[in-house]
Structure 1
């Protein structure tokens, strides 16, 4: 079966449409944030903390990646039931739960209230909206009906505009709008599965089938990409996938490429390389990928599209999303359902 036939057979939740709709989601996220008003005394803020899980938390990772080289305040992302002990009255806690019912995030929200943090929430509804309304905490309500992992723009873009409205970063609306135009071309390229057209996302997916992908990125702003790619492959294609960062990988994991006890055909290394990396990191990528290629015999090297960090990050997100999507079809699996996660949540809720 070709991709068009596999799509018709297995994509019952229209994950293709969710991925392809990213530019419109970004535009809608911009509009929602522009219409959202919040007043917070920013003079006393000493740190910013995102609280969330899964697809909701990745938005915090993305915002931190975009801002970490221009932002003076430390930014943390917490994926847990409790906030760090240092969180308190000078912490701006940004709580995101797409469903509004994520138990870890609800617990983190309550902890933020107890610690006296300044809080803003993003959600579609659920218990988080109810708690925030009762506590008179500002809430940005975003559209429902998506899988949380498909709402990354709703869970990231608004924070950039909210920060700008609070006067703690520059307004990036024009930059975001320009990026959207570029992303539309990215989607046309990676979303075109006609066999007569070159499609790097589909080509990589075909190379990954039957293997465990190991995704390598630079520490810093691109760490979110490794996490996003691995998570999307895990949830959409129902496959194991892992990520690591250079230069740290050069001090330990590189020794694992002796592949003792493993066949070299079982793992596919993917190196995401950007001109935005530190020059010495790029040198490490060049040397490391060649050393791994000698051991493995096959590696994938990828460079992002775009001439600025924002565009490079979102173009890589779209590429990784399409890779995971095509992998799901090639694995004869509907990318939408996450049955084991649902079963886990049911068993947890029965223990309350």
Structure 2
């Protein structure tokens, strides 16, 4: 897994994958075109793709709203769905995609294979990694290429994701104290990815609080340690909220470059830090026994 994180730049899709814009499923015709709503269905390490797209869509004023779907149930009436499942067998994502098709909403799949790739919808197959959470670069950039083809959005892919040992050590130090992760709404996806990596890799719990909502409730009961996220690219109102929180409660402030390269570089280091923390505690960061048991029982 650590090797996967270190090779993340090699997993970035550098070329636009091809897929059909018109197709038939079950005798029904679907046409993919621009709409002001994009649903991104996915769970766990695959679902973070939607979280990050929602952050970037708001920050860079892309011409559509990103609605993240993390459930079986889908109630959308129009738009486009991108269904992301690393294995292709995530039951919630497959069910949501099938319901979207039933409602006449076109779906594009991003996966390594599985049942999702057998639905008869346009499918982008991405390279495999040690685990879904370690395959973020290929799934994330695949979704970006889908959006570029349909909406013409512009984005720049990084040439590399430089390794910073000092950042990794700082992350390990903060995460080992099981902090509350505090972030503004414009960085919500990044915050939840950090939480998920702490959960799955390090096998530790860290709650997330999102500003400004958390300033209307959580702040009265807040205590250290905090891991606060900010960025030069987010709105001033959000930056000030984060700064005030750290001033009042204390905690470590991490600045993230909210570009594709900046986000992937920061999250690469979060992945490394959490995986190495697990190993230092004698835990295999790759194994997720409780998740596996839940799947078996279901």
TM-score (normalised: structure 2): 0.90
| Partner in structure 2 of residue 10 of structure 1 | none
Q: List structure 1 segments (4+ residues) > 6 angstroms apart after TM superposition.
A: none
| 1:213 equivalent among 179, 195, 202 | 179
Larger Rg: 1
Contact 1:216 1:245 survives alignment (8 Å):
yes
Report the alpha carbon displacement of residue 231 of structure 1 after superposing the two structures with TM.
0.2
Residue 163 and residue 255 in structure 1: after superposition, are their counterparts in 2 closer, same or farther (change >3 A)?
same
CA distance in 2, matches of 1:329, 1:343: 22
| 1:180 equivalent among 159, 164, 180 | 159
Report the alpha carbon displacement of residue 75 of structure 1 after superposing the two structures with TM.
1.4
Stretches of structure 2 lacking an aligned partner (at least 5 in a row): 23-30
Contact 2:178 2:225 survives alignment (8 Å):
yes
Stretches of structure 1 lacking an aligned partner (at least 5 in a row): 1-14, 191-198, 260-266, 294-298
Contact 2:19 2:123 survives alignment (8 Å):
no
Contact 1:47 1:92 survives alignment (8 Å):
yes
Residue 345 and residue 44 in structure 1: after superposition, are their counterparts in 2 closer, same or farther (change >3 A)?
same
Are 1:170 and 2:174 counterparts? Answer: no
CA distance in 1, matches of 2:87, 2:34: 31
Contact 1:217 1:226 survives alignment (8 Å):
yes
Are 1:150 and 2:134 counterparts? Answer: yes
| 1:309 equivalent among 243, 254, 259 | 259
CA distance in 2, matches of 1:46, 1:278: 23
CA distance in 2, matches of 1:42, 1:30: 23
- Quote the RMSD (CA, aligned, Å): 1.9
Are 1:104 and 2:61 counterparts? Answer: no
CA distance in 2, matches of 1:44, 1:202: 43
Contact 1:217 1:223 survives alignment (8 Å):
yes
Count of matched residue positions in the alignment of Structure 1 and Structure 2: 289
Are 1:23 and 2:9 counterparts? Answer: yes
| Partner in structure 2 of residue 37 of structure 1 | 19
Contact 2:17 2:142 survives alignment (8 Å):
no
SS at match of 2:181: strand
CA distance in 1, matches of 2:214, 2:133: 27
Residue 315 and residue 121 in structure 1: after superposition, are their counterparts in 2 closer, same or farther (change >3 A)?
same
Cα offsets for 1:226-268 (capped at 9, x unmatched)? 10000000000000011112222111111112x5xxxxxxx52
Report the alpha carbon displacement of residue 51 of structure 1 after superposing the two structures with TM.
0.9
| Partner in structure 2 of residue 226 of structure 1 | 191
| 2:214 equivalent among 238, 245, 249 | 249
Cα offsets for 1:75-100 (capped at 9, x unmatched)? 1010000112xx23x32111111111
CA distance in 2, matches of 1:17, 1:44: 38
CA distance in 2, matches of 1:77, 1:272: 21
CA distance in 1, matches of 2:266, 2:235: 18
Between structures 1 and 2, the one with greater helix share: 1
Cα offsets for 1:103-142 (capped at 9, x unmatched)? 1111112111211111111111111112x23xxx111111
SS at match of 1:215: strand
Report the alpha carbon displacement of residue 284 of structure 1 after superposing the two structures with TM.
2.3
CA distance in 2, matches of 1:145, 1:322: 15
SS at match of 1:212: coil
Cα offsets for 1:168-213 (capped at 9, x unmatched)? 13343xx20xx233x1x2x2x23xxxxxxxx22223313432x321
